[in-house]
Amino acid sequence: MQQNFQSIYEKLYEYYGPQNWWPADSPFEMMIGSILVQNTNWKNVDKALLQLRPYLRPELIEELSIDELAQLIRSSGYFNIKAKRIKAFMNWFKRYHYNIEEIKKMDSNQLRYELLKVNGIGKETADVMLLYAFDKPIFVVDAYARRIFYRIGYDMPTAYDGFRLDVEKQLPSHLQQYNEYHALLVEHAKVHCKSSPICKGCPLHSICDQRLE
């Protein structure tokens, strides 16, 4: 079954209200955070960012060795791998003189293509960066979005981009809406559509295939 992504957005927005979600203090912190959050949650990322805070400038991260960086981000888990990924990302970022405004001017598809070529940046990480650091209206397909839409009854495409493009075909290209949509899905997955769902009172109850009566 295909879904009306706009109407689902409206139901969530009406129920939870605006989220005004911004998981980091700056676009640079958001980029680093989007790598740190791989295979963990933002709570652990916050602890790592606290340690990293005195170095949260591109030039300072560049000066850290991989081992020093790894020790600072220990609490995010997989810290040796993530330190290498951050360094690989910084090499790419340096090509643009660490200039976020310059990068924002790039076409969204080209920017996504470049990010995906960086070692350790997969589609979800790239899309979180595109949306929250580079202001590109893009739908982030994460485990929460998959869980919620699967339960509602959406014919989930097997490819990551199939789901993303289905949503983007229907929604207008408004940055704020994509920002809110991702945040609302995260909120919904925490409040109602948990791994063991609490369907009573759920704003999507009337349209959900897997609702518990």
Question: Which residues would be at the binding site for ligand SF4 (CB under 6 A)?
Answer: 148, 151-152, 192-193, 197, 199, 202, 204-205, 208, 210-211
Nearer to ligand SF4, 74 or 151 (CB): 151
DSSP summary character for residue 75: G
- Least separation in angstroms between CB 209 and ligand SF4: 8
Nearer to ligand SF4, 133 or 148 (CB): 148
Token pair of 182 as six digits: 């991702």
Reduced to 3 states, what is the DSSP secondary structure of residue 41?
coil
Reduced to 3 states, what is the DSSP secondary structure of residue 205?
helix
Is 114 in contact with 92 (CB distance < 8 Å)? yes
> Distance between CA atoms of 78 and 64, rounded to whole angstroms?
18
Residues 6 or more apart in contact with residue 165 via CB below 8 angstroms: none
Nearer to ligand SF4, 47 or 147 (CB): 147
- Least separation in angstroms between CB 11 and ligand SF4: 10
DSSP summary character for residue 17: -
- Least separation in angstroms between CB 82 and ligand SF4: 31
- Least separation in angstroms between CB 102 and ligand SF4: 41
Nearer to ligand SF4, 104 or 211 (CB): 211
- Least separation in angstroms between CB 192 and ligand SF4: 4
Q: What is the dihedral of CA 200, 206, 207, 213, to 10 degrees?
A: 50
Nearer to ligand SF4, 74 or 211 (CB): 211
Nearer to ligand SF4, 121 or 184 (CB): 184
Residues 6 or more apart in contact with residue 155 via CB below 8 angstroms: 1, 2
Is 130 in contact with 138 (CB distance < 8 Å)? yes
How large is the greatest C-alpha to C-alpha distance in the chain, in angstroms?
A: 57
Token pair of 6 as six digits: 């706009």
- Least separation in angstroms between CB 152 and ligand SF4: 6
Residue at 115: amino acid letter: L
